[in-house]
Amino acid sequence: MSGRAASRPSPCVNKDNLTNMTAAAFLTGPVTPASNSVSWQAVRRRRYLLPTAAVLFAVAAPAVYAEAGNPLNDTVNVSIGGFLLDTKTKIRVDGEVRTGDEFDASRDLGLDDSDRFRLDGYWRMTPRQKIRVLYFSTDNSATKVLERDIEVGDNEYLVSATVTAGMKTTVTALSYEFDFLQRENYELGVTGGIHNLEFNFHIAAEGGGAQVAAENTAKANGPLPVIGVHGVWRINDKFYVDYGAQFFKISFDVYDGRVTDYTAAINWQFSQHFGAGLGWNSFITKLDVGGDQFDGSLRWSYGGARIFVTGSF
């Protein structure tokens, strides 16, 4: 009996020798599985964090490569200056029952050239992609004694009549550029965008003699899609050449015609953020318009030297 008692296991358990399973038996409360809410919250958080990080990276990417003053990898560039214009405008405004005469706005109405303000700029979204903007406006008016008869719409303005005429033209442009070729000192890309041409013309004459009081207005406002090329050649740290060409032939809605736009400039970067330049720009629009406010043709071109200052950031 004493031998059996010696070999019988003790009712007291030695906790130092417990396994994981036996240890679980000593838990005083019920065991419940961990909630899945924490893991699902983490998944949702990752779903939002990943797209957000991608957007932030895309916005910040240009800054990684940005070098102010270098036209090949700066982030923002703005140029402001004067445009010494040579403008040629030929207009024909048709009436409801008659076809109007084509006339030269400068020669026939005295609407001569003038110096105008122009703004250009771009934002480099990524090392190869840019968004470009342009704004340019002319506004002329004059009073002149006519040297020939001119028919505008259904009104006729007779020779020797005193007429007052005005013309305002505004060009705004928004385009996208992708630089498919980039090297250490030059880049070349393709562009595509919209040139919005807003044109307003009016003419009026007081009655007197053979002239009957008359007045006409004509308005055209429409986006003209263009495609083209653009390039930059950096000669050295101080000088670079900027050049581009855009064109399009359109037959859409009330418009039928073509648009061409050529530009070239040489820039002097005299400091890290600021420079100055001299350039040339030629913009030609030939349109036949069949709208409610303008039914006729517009042959409008401007060209001339540009003197400007630039800011690079």
What are the C-alpha distances in Å from 189 to residues 20, 246, 282? 68, 12, 20
How does residue 41 score in pLDDT terms, banded at 50, 70 and 90? low
- Residue 211 domain-assigned? yes
What CATH number did the domain enclosing 47 receive? 2.40.128.90
State which of 24-28, 137-141, 167-171, 260-264 shows the largest mean pLDDT.
260-264
- Residue 4 domain-assigned? no
- Say what the pLDDT of residue 304 is: 86
What is the CB neighbour count within 10 angstroms for residue 228?
20
- Say what the pLDDT of residue 165 is: 94
Question: Mean per-residue pLDDT for 233-243?
Answer: 96
Question: Mean per-residue pLDDT for 95-101?
Answer: 84
pLDDT at 125 over 70: yes
- Say what the pLDDT of residue 47 is: 54
Q: Which domain holds residue 142?
A: 43-312
- Residue 13 domain-assigned? no
- Residue 251 domain-assigned? yes
Nearest to 91 by CA among 283, 313, 300: 300
- Residue 35 domain-assigned? no
Lowest mean pLDDT among 23-37, 56-70, 120-134, 263-277: 23-37
Q: Which residues contact 80 (CB under 8 A, 6 or more apart)?
A: 117, 118, 119, 308, 309
Number of separate domains in the chain = 1
The helix/strand count (H/E) of the chain reads as: 4, 13
How does residue 114 score in pLDDT terms, banded at 50, 70 and 90? low
Q: Which residues contact 244 (CB under 8 A, 6 or more apart)?
A: 191, 228, 229, 230, 231, 261, 262, 263, 264
- Residue 27 domain-assigned? no
- Say what the pLDDT of residue 26 is: 35
- Residue 9 domain-assigned? no
What are the C-alpha distances in Å from 173 to residues 123, 134, 246? 14, 5, 11
- Residue 38 domain-assigned? no
